[in-house]
Amino acid sequence: MGAMKQRIYRNGAILTMAQSSQEATAFSMFHDRFTAVGPESDVVPSSDSDTEVVDLGGKAVMPGFIESHNHMSVYAMNMLQADCSLAGNRTIEDVKETLRAMVSRTKPGDWIRGYGFDETLIADKRHLTRDDLDEVAPENPVFIFHITVHFCYVNSPALAMAGITKDTPQPEGGEIATDDEGRPTGLLMEPGAMNLVGDIIPPYTVDQLKSVLPRAMEHFHSFGITGIHDGGIGYFRHGRQILQAYQELERERSLSLRVYMTVVEEIYGTLFREGMRGRFGSPLLRLGSVKLWQDGSIQGYTGALKEPYYSRPDHLGELLIPQERLNEIVTKYHAADCQVAIHANGDRAIESVLDAFEYACHVCPRTDRRHMIIHCQTASDEQIERMKRLGIIPNYFVNHVYYWGDRHRDIFLGPERAGRIDPLASSLRRGLSFCLHSDLPVTPVDPMFSIHTAVNRMTSDGHVLGPEERVSVLEALKAYTVNAAYAGFDEDERGTIEPGKLADFIVLSKNPLTVPHEEIKDIEVLETVVGGRTVYSRIPRIPGTPRIPGTQY
């Protein structure tokens, strides 16, 4: 694309997302940055260079979406594995069929890997067992991830290779599920148990990762995403390979998305000792926060709650890191000017994380660390006030409302607590800004759908869950633009359409601020531009003319 040419987009509805609410219908850019935005009279062709003018035909333009918590590298690796999700399987028999196809293409003895199994939605409503997997793959070790990535399923050859028997003691930070006779069922819970098998699987190579990451980026661009926080690089290994794959793609000019790398402590700690700090890197690839986990997921009964689960009055879920240890880790990075992002779903886990942040701020009273709570699903008003006071950013997984809201109400949390999961409006009422995310591959990545869910709070069964927590379209859009840029210390470079900022933007089929709320999810992304370069385009072509992205709407 003529990147060195001035380009003007005119005759559009420009949602700049900037503080000044000046009506804008046009903007210009040169090379990779915006140069002007405003009414048409303010955006004039430059006299000393060629200018390409694009007529938007009234279409809306806004800053590119920044998806601030997902696992794109895991999504990419999944392309090398068997899809055991609801996408292609209704029953366990279907899953077996999917695996049989994979086995037929695999040498005996080689690993069969899969992902996406969800026992709560599959017709059989039960976990996979080693016997299911032995039936289809007696001669291959099998490892299948649960949709939450907090559980996995393995077969007898895999258990044998890992040396797991009925006499194996329960590992720290995980559980080997057993039947009445104490025999492992094949279900392994949380990293402590999953790693017993995971650690013996040969990791994917950098070249394998580089073969699938570009397809993953294309997928993201098609939903208007120009930047991501890759949310836990190294969770379940491959940390070094992923870092290297991203670096090589950048060097080869094949990285078309801005990646802020959130890294597990094991790897972050090593980088740290090598002298790297957060925000190290380039405008395309940057080392971001250190990622920790303080509980699991509520729909897996591993979220740590203050009050028992609705359907299990004896069960609260567990904290993963003892408080003193968490205080220590958080303080270490806080004192060294690093951002910390901690996974917490249950209100007891959120409380523990806030205690750790408060401790760190007390020991080392510095501000502007922008620590984040990832998911932050059941935050109370009191906790929201603490976040506001400590400068913590809640990053809400709002898709929970759609995908698990009905079951949260009926099974896991009960009607009262379910109604206020992802308390977006409560946060705004207390002056606390938030980010939103998809947690791909846990739910599909589609910012417009997540924005729709934040605005409507519609569940998959068609109920409105907690209507008082609905927010305006503008606030939901901010979560995916300005707020997400701020969460990556990038608010001077991205998140709004303003002169001097990087030209990351999207063209939409309709204006989200003016369509009826129930139609937000149907808005289509027509073009995605990263640093002035069109990386995705679905502009209809006039027959017989060459396709030039971005020249006609």
Q: Of 371 and 470, which has the nearer Cβ to Zn ion?
A: 371
Rounded to the nearest whole angstrom, what is the least distance from the CB of residue 287 to Zn ion in the complex? 18
Q: Of 231 and 317, which has the nearer Cβ to Zn ion?
A: 231
Q: Of 34 and 65, which has the nearer Cβ to Zn ion?
A: 65
Which tokens in the block code for residue 2?
Answer: 């003529």
Which tokens in the block code for residue 84?
Answer: 């055991």
Cβ–Cβ < 8 Å for 398, 453 = yes
Order of strands across the sheet with 60-63? 13-14, 60-63, 505-508, 525-530, 533-537
Rounded to the nearest whole angstrom, what is the least distance from the CB of residue 442 to Zn ion in the complex? 7
Residue 536, CA distances (Å) to 74, 220, 497 in order: 22, 10, 19
Rounded to the nearest whole angstrom, what is the least distance from the CB of residue 375 to Zn ion in the complex? 7
Q: Of 319 and 425, which has the nearer Cβ to Zn ion?
A: 319
Cβ–Cβ < 8 Å for 263, 277 = no
Rounded to the nearest whole angstrom, what is the least distance from the CB of residue 403 to Zn ion in the complex? 14
Rounded to the nearest whole angstrom, what is the least distance from the CB of residue 71 to Zn ion in the complex? 6
Give the DSSP letter string of 225-291. Answer: EEEEEEEEETTTS-HHHHHHHHHHHHHTT---SEEEEEEEHHHHHHHHHTT--TT-B-SSEEEEEEE
Distance CA 553, CA 550 (A): 8
* Contact call for residue 295 and Zn ion (CB under 5 A): no
Q: Of 439 and 498, which has the nearer Cβ to Zn ion?
A: 439
- The 8-class DSSP code of residue 458 comes to B
Percent of residues in the chain assigned helix, strand, coil, to nearest 5: 35, 20, 45
Q: Of 372 and 424, which has the nearer Cβ to Zn ion?
A: 372
Rounded to the nearest whole angstrom, what is the least distance from the CB of residue 438 to Zn ion in the complex? 9
Write down the residue that tokens 């992902």 correspond to. Answer: 115
Stretch that binds Zn ion, among 107-115, 226-234, 365-373, 402-410 (CB under 5 A): 226-234
Among 439, 498, 504, 527, binds Zn ion (CB under 5 A): 439
Q: Of 233 and 329, which has the nearer Cβ to Zn ion?
A: 233
Q: Of 235 and 553, which has the nearer Cβ to Zn ion?
A: 235
Q: Of 289 and 331, which has the nearer Cβ to Zn ion?
A: 289
- Count of residues that interact with Zn ion, criterion CB under 5 A: 2
Which tokens in the block code for residue 410?
Answer: 């009926």
Stretch that binds Zn ion, among 252-260, 283-291, 439-447, 466-474 (CB under 5 A): 439-447
Site string for Zn ion, 396-435 (x = CB under 5 A): ----------------------------------------
Rounded to the nearest whole angstrom, what is the least distance from the CB of residue 263 to Zn ion in the complex? 13
Rounded to the nearest whole angstrom, what is the least distance from the CB of residue 358 to Zn ion in the complex? 24
Q: Is 362 helix (H, G, I), strand (E, B) or coil?
A: helix
Rounded to the nearest whole angstrom, what is the least distance from the CB of residue 285 to Zn ion in the complex? 20
Task: Determine if residue 493 is left, alpha or beta; phi over 0 gives left, psi from -120 to 50 gives alpha, anything else beta.
Answer: alpha
Stretch that binds Zn ion, among 225-233, 244-252, 286-294, 356-364 (CB under 5 A): 225-233
The number of helices, as runs of H, and strands, as runs of E, in the chain is: 17, 23
Rounded to the nearest whole angstrom, what is the least distance from the CB of residue 341 to Zn ion in the complex? 10
Handedness of CA 459, 461, 465, 470 (dihedral sign): positive
Which tokens in the block code for residue 411?
Answer: 């099974």
Q: What's the one-letter identity of residue 386?
A: R
Stretch that binds Zn ion, among 217-225, 229-237, 414-422, 533-541 (CB under 5 A): 229-237
Q: What does the chain come to in residues?
A: 553
- The 8-class DSSP code of residue 412 comes to I
Cβ–Cβ < 8 Å for 90, 122 = yes
Site string for Zn ion, 230-259 (x = CB under 5 A): -x----------------------------
Distance CA 30, CA 77 (A): 36
Q: Is 39 helix (H, G, I), strand (E, B) or coil?
A: coil
Which tokens in the block code for residue 71?
Answer: 């696992």
Distance CA 452, CA 459 (A): 11
Rounded to the nearest whole angstrom, what is the least distance from the CB of residue 289 to Zn ion in the complex? 13
β-strand pairing of 225-233 with 65-70: parallel
Stretch that binds Zn ion, among 219-227, 334-342, 350-358, 437-445 (CB under 5 A): 437-445
Give all strands (DSSP E) within 104-190, no chain letters: 112-117, 142-146, 151-154, 175-178, 184-189
Q: Of 43 and 76, which has the nearer Cβ to Zn ion?
A: 76
Q: Of 174 and 231, which has the nearer Cβ to Zn ion?
A: 231
Where helices occur in 137-264 by DSSP H, the ranges are: 156-162, 190-198, 206-221, 239-251
Rounded to the nearest whole angstrom, what is the least distance from the CB of residue 2 to Zn ion in the complex? 39
With CA atoms as reference, report the closest residue to 137 among 88, 182, 84, 99.
99
Q: Of 130 and 219, which has the nearer Cβ to Zn ion?
A: 219
Q: Of 351 and 439, which has the nearer Cβ to Zn ion?
A: 439
Distance CA 513, CA 60 (A): 10
Radius of gyration for the alpha carbons in the chain, expressed in angstroms and rounded:
24
Rounded to the nearest whole angstrom, what is the least distance from the CB of residue 228 to Zn ion in the complex? 12
Binding region for Zn ion (CB under 5 A):
231, 439
